[in-house]
Structure 1
Amino acid sequence: MMSDLETGMFDVVLVYRLDRLTRSVLDLYKLLAQFDQFDVKFKSATEIYDTTTATGRLFITLVAALAQWERENLAERVKMGMLKKANLGEWLGGTTPFGYEQENGKFLIIDDEAKIVKMIFQMARTKGMDSIARQLNQMGYRTRKGSEWAGYTVQYIAKNPIYIGKFRFNDERHQLRKPLSEQQLFDTDIENIINEKEFWDLQAILEKRSENKGRGMTGGYYFTSLLRCGKCGSPMQGTVYKFKNPVRSVKYYRCSHKTKGRTCPMPNIQEDRLSDEFLRNFPKLVTGWIKTNSIKESSSEEANADFSKELKNVQRQMEKYKMMFINDLIDIEELNGKMHLLRDREKALKESMNSESASSKESWSVDELESLIEKFPQIWAMSTDEERKVLLSEIFTEIIIDADEKAKVSPGNPKPFWIESAK
C-alpha cells in the first residue's frame, strides 16, 4: 500500500477502525505524515476524524494512544497468565511435540516417535543436523505430517527440553538465542523420553560446536577441534588427498593458518601416522594427571554433596510457594518474585555442579585413569571414526603437535613430528 501511495495510485486510505491500521502512536504519526506528503486522505468507516485541524489531530492521537495502551495491557496480561501456567507446570499451548500425544490434558509417549527422538539425540553427539536429517530420510523415517526430515526440524528436537519433562517460557523473543541453560525452564509431570544427563551433555556439545563453527566437531576427522599447531597455535584442519596410482584416499591434517592465505612452516601430517604417534604417547600424556587428580578427587566430592543438599532445599521451597499460590495464600506477583530468586539460585547451583562434572576431563578418578591407560589401545582399535572423535573429546580439550620443518623428505620418509602436550 505504501509503495502504491507514492506512485499516486489512490486518493484515500479507508479503514474500518483506526486500530485496524495501527495501535502505535509513533507509527500513526509517521503514516499521517506520509499521507500528507503525497496528498492522500485518511478516513475511518466507523469513526469521524478531521486530520486537517489541531483538534482533530489531538483526538486521533488520543484514540491511537488508547489503542496502544490496550494492546500493551493485553500483552502484559497474556504474559502474566502464561508465566502463571508455566510456574504450575501446565501446558502453554501449541502443537504437541513430536514423541508425545495428548489425552485428556495428559502427555503420553508415542513409542514409534520416541524411538526416532532417541536416535536423534544419539546421532547428534557426532553428526550435524543436516546429516542426521539425510540419514533419517534414507532409513525411511518421516515426520508426523509425512514429510521428509530437515536440519532445522532435527535441531528443534535436539534442543527441546520437553524431552526431560520441562517447559521453556521466555519473556522476550531474543532470549531464545541464548544457550538453553540460560533460558527459563519449568518443571512438569511429563514423562521423560531422554535421560536428563544425556540431554544436558548434548546441549554442552552443541554449544561447543556452535563456538567452533560446527564442521570440525562433526566431520570425519577425529582429531579436529582438538589438534593445534605447535608453530603458530592455530587449529589443525582435516583434509583428504586422492591419489591416482594406486587409487586411494589419504587423510591429512594441515594448519588452518595456511588455508587463510598465510604462511606457516608446519608440514601436513598424515592421520595414520598421527594415530600411531598418539597411541605410543597416550600413557605418558595421561599419567601426569594421576597425581593431580588424586588431590582433587576428595574436595570435588565434598563440594558436589554440599551443592546437592542446597539444591534440594531450594527445590522444596519452590514447591512450597507453588502450593501457597494454589491455596490463595499468596498472589501471582509474590509467587513470581519468590520463584525468580529461587530459580536464579537453582540455576547457579546446577551450573556449579555441572562445572564440577565438566572438569572430569581434568579430574578423572585415579582408578579411572589407570584403567583408561591399560584399556585404551583395545578401545581405540575397536572404535569407528565417529566413536574415536567422541572418545577423544571426552578425554582431551587440546592436543598440540610440532614438527621438524627443516628435515629432509624422501619417499617413505616424511618429516618427523611429535606430540608436544595435551590437556
Structure 2
Amino acid sequence: MAEIKKVATFYRVSTKAQLEGNDIPMQRRACQEFVDKQGWTLVKEYTEKGVSGYKTSVEDRDEIQRAKYDAENGLYDVLLYFMFDRLGRKIYETSLLLKWFSTKGIEVWSVKEGEQQFQTEGDDAANFLRFWQSNHESKKTSIRIDEKHVQMAQDGLYRGGTAPFGYCLVKSGVINKKGKELMKLAINEDQAVIVRQMFAFVKEEGYGSNRIAKYLL
C-alpha cells in the first residue's frame, strides 16, 4: 500500500480588500478539496495576511521561513498552493524558492497548475516564465490602480479619511462596486476664510509656518 503523503498548504493575500473579502477561505477550500481528491492528509496550514509577494522579500516573510524550517524537519511531503503566485511574484527569488523546496525532497503543487517540475532546463525556463508573467501582471495592476486614483482626484472624488481643513465631504452621486456612494470634496466656507488668510500671509507678508501658527492661536 502506497504511503499517504503529508501536505502543507499555503495561503496568501496581499491587500486589505482581499483580507476583508473571501479570498483566503476560497484558497483554503480549493486546497482542501484538492487534498481530499488526491487521497493525501493535511498536516499544516500557513497563512500570510496582507503581505505583498512583489514588494516583500522572502527573508522578511515569517510564514515562508516557518514553511522552510518545517520542510527541513520533515513535517510534510507536499507544499500546496491555490496558484503559484501565492508563493510570491519576484521573478528570480520566487523561482529559486520553489526549487529550494524541491531540493529538500518536497513536491510543490498548485491546485490550478499541477505539480511544478525541476527535472530539466525546460522546467526551469517554464518556471521562470511563469513568475515573469506574474511579476508583469502585478506591475500592470499597480499602474491601473495609480491611474484610477489620479482620475478620482481629477473628478473631485475623495478616496477616504477625514476631509482636509478648508473642505467638507458631500455625496457625489457615484456608486462604487460595493454599492456604496462615494464622497467628494467641497469648500467649507467658514474654514476657507482662515485658509485664504494663511495663503495671504505667505504671499504678501512672507510669513513662515511658525509665525502663522502663532497668529492663529
TM-score (norm: length of structure 1): 0.27
Q: Indicate the structure with greater helix content.
A: 1
Q: Indicate the structure with greater strand content.
A: 2
TM-score (norm: length of structure 2): 0.48
Structure of greater relative contact order (alpha carbons < 8 Å, 6+ residues apart): 2
